[in-house]
């Protein structure tokens, strides 16, 4: 299937996102930058792929609504797919998720995040702009509970991104609108399902926010995500979503049930060739609660700066910690079965590489050195497809990898 080949190629290049649109080249996002791969995607081809992904029933809903969300697993790679219409025709934005569910350590998050799941009730907000890794951090918190505590966890997501296996905890994952018509209805249903932990993929409406606060006040630990650039903006956004006459009571409710707020972005560490979360963390100290209750959200910056001993982190302080860490957990290498340089049976990847671009294996989230290097005109053909070349990538820097890849491409068969 063409969709599988696109995902294979994006994954091998270490892309975090894949963008498709009718009569437009496929585009991937690698370490924050966009670049094209392959030739123009025909509108009829993309439409057929969309029809195969959605099926007749969901295709009819897509035609009526104009967009559709779903999650797919392609050869072990979990993808979140948004399909929509543009002036050119059908289009899709695809997020390639990390392979498997990782804990906090594997996500290169500070150990202070464990304080978020030590509480038995209250509200934890994971915030940040689009593409900052909120879903991965949320999944890591769930896995931390799953590995250490016997809890009943109910998740509400749209769509389901990471799939969990029960370990010490019992996890029920529900998708909106597949298993519940809306987040609001799903939250109300969940409160009757005896949960210890309630996970809300995104608080989109004031009613969902109200129900979330009520759940956090009634003895449940609630983990939720929100789009915002910092902790103060996240809390302000929650309160400002309500009518002015009830905002004081909402602020008091929020201050009482708050367990913690994290806002994150992704920073690139060139010395490690790695993107890691850089976070701002607000803990519910007496000063923080009083500031939220009074609605003085602009003063939370001062609370964060003076709250280091209480487990609070500003972006600047967290970044200094990032620069001191040396034992980072590197993302897994591309498996051989998915690696176009080392696979014997998947030569289609190499054949479909765009002219002037070498398909190369990469660590997810990193730019492969060889992928963007144009080939010289008249260069020699690649080595035979049945020849396997071991490349010690973990021991080489990007410049060495690029030089080695060039030699592989120019190598003539003996």
User: What is the tens place of the pLDDT at every residue in 341-399?
Assistant: 333 333 333 333 343 333 333 333 443 433 433 323 333 334 344 444 455 444 455 55
350 touches 358 (CB < 8 A): no
Q: Which helix (H) or strand (E) holds 14?
A: none
Range(s) of the domain holding residue 216:
111-324
Q: Which helix (H) or strand (E) holds 46?
A: helix 43-65
Residue 104 covered by a domain: no
Residue 103 covered by a domain: no
Same domain, 44 and 166: no
Residue 390 covered by a domain: yes
Same domain, 89 and 117: no
Same domain, 300 and 354: no
Residue 106 covered by a domain: no
Query: Which letter does DSSP use for residue 337 in this model?
Result: G
Structure tokens at 227: 């789009």
Residues 6+ apart with CB under 8 A from 260: 115, 116, 124, 125, 281, 282, 283, 284
Residue 19 covered by a domain: yes
Q: Return the CATH number at 274.
A: 3.40.50.300
pLDDT at 109: 94
- The conformational region for residue 273 under phi > 0 = left, psi -120 to 50 = alpha, else beta, is left
Nearest to 166 by CA among 150, 185, 188: 150
- The conformational region for residue 315 under phi > 0 = left, psi -120 to 50 = alpha, else beta, is alpha
Same domain, 192 and 226: yes
370 touches 402 (CB < 8 A): yes
Residue 39 covered by a domain: yes
User: What is the tens place of the pLDDT at every residue in 65-110?
Assistant: 999 998 888 877 889 999 999 999 999 999 998 777 788 999 999 9
- Please give the tally of structural domains in the chain: 2
Q: Return the CATH number at 392.
A: 3.30.450.90
Same domain, 201 and 299: yes
Q: Does the model's pTM come out above 0.85? A: no
Same domain, 187 and 320: yes
Same domain, 349 and 318: no
Same domain, 47 and 150: no
Same domain, 260 and 391: no
User: What is the tens place of the pLDDT at every residue in 25-51?
Assistant: 999 998 888 999 888 999 999 999 999
Same domain, 178 and 300: yes
Same domain, 182 and 314: yes
pLDDT at 378: 38
Same domain, 159 and 267: yes
User: What is the tens place of the pLDDT at every residue in 225-265?
Assistant: 999 999 999 999 999 999 999 999 999 999 999 999 999 99
Domain boundary among 307, 324, 341: 324
Domain boundary among 287, 307, 324: 324
Residue 274 covered by a domain: yes
The yes-or-no verdict on residue 407 having pLDDT over 70 is no
Domain boundary among 296, 324, 352: 324
Residue 305 covered by a domain: yes
């Amino acid at each position: 299937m063409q969709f599988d080949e696109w995902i294979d190629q994006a994954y091998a290049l270490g892309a975090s996102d894949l963008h498709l649109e009718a009569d437009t080249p496929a585009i991937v996002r690698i370490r924050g930058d966009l670049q094209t791969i392959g030739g123009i995607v025909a509108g009829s081809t993309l439409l057929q792929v969309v029809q195969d992904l959605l099926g007749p029933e969901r295709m009819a809903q897509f035609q009526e609504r104009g967009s559709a969300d779903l999650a797919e697993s392609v050869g072990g790679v979990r993808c979140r797919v948004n399909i929509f219409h543009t002036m050119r025709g059908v289009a899709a934005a695809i997020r390639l998720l990390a392979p498997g569910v990782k804990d906090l350590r594997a996500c290169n998050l500070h150990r202070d995040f464990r304080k978020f799941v030590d509480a038995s009730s209250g509200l934890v907000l994971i915030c940040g702009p689009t593409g900052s890794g909120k879903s991965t951090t949320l999944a890591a918190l769930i896995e931390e509970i799953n590995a250490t505590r016997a809890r009943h966890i109910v998740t509400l997501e749209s769509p389901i991104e990471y799939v969990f296996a029960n370990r010490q905890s019992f996890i029920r994952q529900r998708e909106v609108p597949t298993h519940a018509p809306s987040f609001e209805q799903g939250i109300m249903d969940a409160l009757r399902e005896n949960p210890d932990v309630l996970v809300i993929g995104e608080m989109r409406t004031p009613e969902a926010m109200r129900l979330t606060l009520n759940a956090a006040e009634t003895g449940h630990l609630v983990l939720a995500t929100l789009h915002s650039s910092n902790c103060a903006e996240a809390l302000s956004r929650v309160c400002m979503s309500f009518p002015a006459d009830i905002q004081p009571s909402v602020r008091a409710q929020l201050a009482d049930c708050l367990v913690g707020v994290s806002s994150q972005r992704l920073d690139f560490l060139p010395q490690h060739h790695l993107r890691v979360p850089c976070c701002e963390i607000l803990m519910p100290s007496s000063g923080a609660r009083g500031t939220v209750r009074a609605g003085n959200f602009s003063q939370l910056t001062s609370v964060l700066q003076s709250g280091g001993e209480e487990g609070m982190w500003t972006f600047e302080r967290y970044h200094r910690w990032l620069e001191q860490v040396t034992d980072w957990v590197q993302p897994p290498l591309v498996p051989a079965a998915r690696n176009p340089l080392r696979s014997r049976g998947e030569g289609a990847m190499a054949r479909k590489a765009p002219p002037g671009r070498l398909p190369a294996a990469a660590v997810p989230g990193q730019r492969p050195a060889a992928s963007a290097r144009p080939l010289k005109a008249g260069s020699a053909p690649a080595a035979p497809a049945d020849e396997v070349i071991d490349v010690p990538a973990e021991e080489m820097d990007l410049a060495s990898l690029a030089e080695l890849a060039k030699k592989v491409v120019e190598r003539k068969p003996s």
